[in-house]
Amino acid sequence: MANNITRRAVMTLFSSPTCAMSHSARFVLHEKAVTSDVEFYDPNDPPEDLLELNPNGTSPTFVERDLVLYDSRIIMEYLDERFPHPPLHQMDPVSRANARMIIKRIDQDWYTQLDEILISGEKKSSRAKKLLRESILSAEPIFAARPYFMSDEFSLIDCVVAPLLWRLPSIGIDVTSTSEVIANYTQRIFNRPAFKSSLSEAEKEMIELVK
């Protein structure tokens, strides 16, 4: 089955159309201007060719010839190393390690709450929404300090933060009307051509639904 995929495209990213982790990987693909197939699928009904490669059918799953990766952050790191221009990580080991720790913290503090909100449903998610909103607003000085999240240059960290911020209005969390700094950051990132190109139709509708 992997050979069939290789014949169809050198690289394929299997992606849920609504998964924030998958969105991060797609964002990197478009920032790098990598030619690849993005195969959107229902995670509740993974296609057979995906299950052949990744029996769990998790999103995202990245395939390049004999390589199969199914962790969003590993996929992002691989793409940045495989296609070094433009670089999305600092070149020195200390800065790269710090960036990895920041991403790990974002996943633990923000993405964990996002997952709880999406899994719990509207009635049971009020506490998680409150915690996520307060945590993001408490980071306002970080958003204000530099043009990008803890960096003077656009980086993989922004590729992690942006998909989460994009989803906030659709789950009833408003941070931009409270914080002009965060509002400016979101507009700066959301207006990047690569971010716009990375959006699935379902993700575009997330914003349309709250207008």
Query: 143-173 pLDDT, tens per residue?
Result: 999 999 999 999 999 999 999 999 999 999 9
Q: Of 5-14, 118-127, 176-185, which gets the smallest average pLDDT?
A: 5-14
Tell me the pLDDT of the chain averaged across its residues. Answer: 91
Size of the chain, expressed as the number of residues it contains = 211
14 membership: H or E segment, kind and range: strand 11-15
Q: Give the CATH class of 2-82.
A: alpha beta
Cβ-Cβ contacts under 8 Å for 202 (sequence gap 6 or more): 17, 18
Determine the Cα–Cα distance for residues 91 and 37; give it in Å rounded to an integer: 28
pLDDT average, residue stretch 76-102 = 92
Q: Pick from 93, 5, 9, 6: which is nearest to 49 by CA?
A: 5
113-141 pLDDT per residue, tens: 999 999 987 777 899 999 999 999 999 99
Confidence band, pLDDT 50/70/90 cuts, at residue 7? very low
Determine the Cα–Cα distance for residues 185 and 84; give it in Å rounded to an integer: 25
Q: Is pLDDT of 2 > 50?
A: no
Q: Which residue stretches of 59-172 are H helix?
A: 72-82, 93-106, 112-120, 126-138, 140-145, 156-167
CATH code of the domain occupying 93-208: 1.20.1050.10
Q: Which residues are catalytic?
A: 19
Which one is predicted more confidently, 8 or 185? 185
Every domain of the chain and the residues it spans: 2-82, 93-208
pTM to 2 decimal places: 0.91
Tell me, what's the pLDDT at 170?
93
